[in-house]
Amino acid sequence: MKLSFNVQNKSQADPFIFEDGGRFYLYVTAGEGVEAYSSDDIFGEWKFEGVVTKLSGEGKTFWAPSVIKIEDKYYMYVSFIRGNEFQFMYALCGNSPLGPFENEKKLYNYFSIDSHVVKTDEGLFLWFAKNNEEGDRIGTRVYVDRLLDPYTVEGKPVEKIVPTFDEEIFTPSYTPEHRWHTIEGPFWFYEDGWQYVMYSGGCYQDDTYHVGYSACKTDEQDLTKVEYKKHTNDDKFAPVIIKNDVEEGTGHHSVIKYKGEYYAIYHARTYGEKYRTARVCKLIVKDGLITAER
């Protein structure tokens, strides 16, 4: 189901949903800064709020923002291009959910994308994706690192989700022997004794682009120590969300619990349309399993 927006001909790629004070905010990938929307109801109309980032220098091609509130401040984690860098992760801060998010600080000196920061009893943890060119299935993988404070990573990321299927291949022509794989867009949440890490896999241009998940039943609060098991169907590819008769390019998402029910906010394209727009579907989350009602 498409979300309703009061603007036309805009993309809402990589939508991250955030609730504060009874209002909902959606942050999306954009060119010259992170764009945001707001609404009183996730199923109502979303108001375009414009660009909410303000850098001290140049930045472009902003990817996959996420936001967390810590005490009375709002922190955004997003990757963008600056100078000769490619996509490096930065932290920014604002005084409201609409920022402006500024005072940026680089977190990693290498390709690092698709943030999700969460807080447990053990502190703050940053989920993100980076590259690993070791092993048979080289490519982008999901990691988690500890944050010493909202602006400082420990710098000891632990790999948590790796590619295991051909459906996760991003660029088949990388080399004949070593095809590039992509596992990205992590989103962590906890429900009834289980930790879940959902993610996107594959190439956004391919039919196999999808949302999957890993899970672990544990009370461990140090997320770097948790061993998550990738969901499969008897060791076979088993996505939660993938293209259907209505839409394609189904991927990068966030999750919200709304009126007692879980929902995934993801992007997709309706067949024949140009833009990736934000969609919503209900998730059934129980006993380590996630299924989608579409």
Identify the CATH number of the domain in which residue 172 sits.
2.115.10.20
In terms of residue numbers, what domain contains 198?
64-293
Q: Residue 47, CB half-sphere, CA atoms under 13 Å: how many? A: 8
Per the DSSP assignment, residues forming a β-bridge with 147 are: 124, 153
282 by Cβ neighbours in 10 Å (0-12 / 13-18 / 19+) ranks as: middle
Q: Are 150 and 124 in contact (CB under 8 A)?
A: yes
Domain membership flag for residue 238: yes
DSSP conformation class of 237: -
Pick the closest to residue 17 from 280, 294, 288 (CA basis). Answer: 280
Q: Measure the CA–CA gap between 132 and 118, rounded to whole angstroms.
A: 23
Residue 224 lies in a domain: yes
Q: Does some domain include residue 19? A: no
| 230 within a domain of the structure (yes/no) | yes
Q: What angle do CA 145, 148, 228 make, to 5 degrees?
A: 25
The Cα-based distances of 270 to 64, 204, 245, 246 in angstroms read 21, 14, 9, 6
pLDDT at residue 267 in the model: 97
The backbone region for 260, taken as left when phi is positive above 0, alpha when psi lies in -120 to 50, beta otherwise, is left
Domain count, the chain: 1
Q: Is residue 37 part of a domain?
A: no
The residues of the chain scoring below 50 in pLDDT are none
> What φ, ψ does residue 226 adopt, rounded to 5°?
-85, 135
Read off the pLDDT of residues 282-292 as tens digits, 9 standing for 90 and up: 999 999 999 99
Global confidence as pTM: 0.97
Whats the size of the chain, residue-wise? 294
Contacts 24+ apart (CB under 8 A), 231-234: 231/289, 231/290
Residue 5 placed within a domain = no
Inside any domain, residue 49:
no
**pLDDT at site 248:** 95
How does pLDDT run across 78-94, given as a tens digit for each residue? Answer: 999 999 999 999 999 99
Q: Please check whether residue 188 lies inside any domain of the structure.
A: yes
The residue behind tokens 């949903």 is 17
